Amino acid sequence: MTSLAQATDTASRNGRLSACPDGVPFCTGDPETHADPREHIHRGPERSLNRADGTPVLTYQVEQWDDDAPEVTIGDADKPGLDSAAVTALADEMIRFAAGLRADAQLVADLSAARDAGDEAVPYILTPGAVAVLAEPEPRSFTINVQERDGGGIHTERCPRWCTSDHQADRDSEHGTFLCDIWHQADEVGLPMRISEGLDTHEDQVLVARLGAIPYTSNPKALVPHVNVELVAGTDMWVDEMGPQAFAAFIDSLAGHVERLRGVHAQLVQACAEWEAER
């Protein structure tokens, strides 16, 4: 399914070694769009959102007419219709496509800012738009006594940069620590909410997300950096071990849910108005 997609991605990365006679960094230097001596149309590689059979559904290009500001141009077409499985595959493909589109939004912003400042054009590099906050500039490490049943001895573990755990429990364990219990974790991110439970009302965190990695586990999903989301803090109900793509899909489903909540809100406003009118 990704052969065409990979081809367009490869082409866009190679775009930085562009053959553009004017040295426009993203331009592929297509001779046809540079033939007119009065007007050069600089185009980046066409990037496409593809169906599983490779048919492009939606395409875009970064484009610049002569010395005008660079822009993103988008075109679309899709026939025949898709069944449920094909739509699911397309939804996954859209996540990949959106990442490229977001990176190119940044490219256009960077090129425009460089023009305004009269600077050298920035190189064409795909960068994710999101900003990652790293906890510690220096890698940290700690030493544990390994459980006898796990081979015993001393083990020095180096934390990834995002880990904010002090690993106190691992270091203090009287009988030593199992290697598979070492769990690197970033700070949790929760949404505070008033929650009623019977007659008791208290504030708690919901949808608590945490980046983690368990380097010696036998679970391949937990071995690599992943995000867990606890539905309500302390209730031990989780959406487990999401990688970047699964977590992006999780976030998108929440964003979709927010739109449905707005629909419920509109119903509420209507219901209140009718209730007032009938009093």
Report how far apart, in Å, the C-alpha atoms of 138 and of each of 67, 126, 135, 161, 213 are: 44, 26, 9, 7, 18
Binding flag, residue 182, Zn ion (CB under 5 A):
no
Position 155 contacts Zn ion (CB under 5 A)? no
Closest CB to Zn ion among 145 and 251? 145
Are the CB atoms for 156 and 142 separated by under 8 Å?
Answer: yes
* CB-nearer residue toward Zn ion: 22 or 76: 22
Task: Give the torsion sign (CA, 205, 206, 211, 212).
Answer: positive
Is position 42 an interface residue for Zn ion (rule: CB under 5 A)? yes
As a dihedral over the C-alpha atoms of residue 171, residue 173, residue 176, residue 180, rounded to 10 degrees, the angle is -70
Structure tokens at 2: 């990704």
End-to-end CA distance of the chain: 60
Does 184 bind Zn ion (CB under 5 A)? Our answer is yes
Q: Which of 5, 8, 12, 20 binds Zn ion (CB under 5 A)?
A: 20
The distance of closest approach from Cβ of residue 184 to Zn ion in the complex, given in angstroms and rounded to an integer, is: 4
Nearer to Zn ion, 183 or 250 (CB): 183
Binding-site residue total for Zn ion (CB under 5 A)? 8
Window 207-236: residues binding Zn ion (CB under 5 A)? none
Q: Is 27 in the site for Zn ion (CB under 5 A)?
A: yes
Q: Return left, alpha or beta for 153; rule: phi > 0 is left, psi -120 to 50 is alpha, else beta.
A: left
Tell me if 24 contacts Zn ion by CB under 5 A. yes
Residues lying near Zn ion in the complex (CB under 5 A) are found at 20, 24, 27, 42, 159, 163, 165, 184
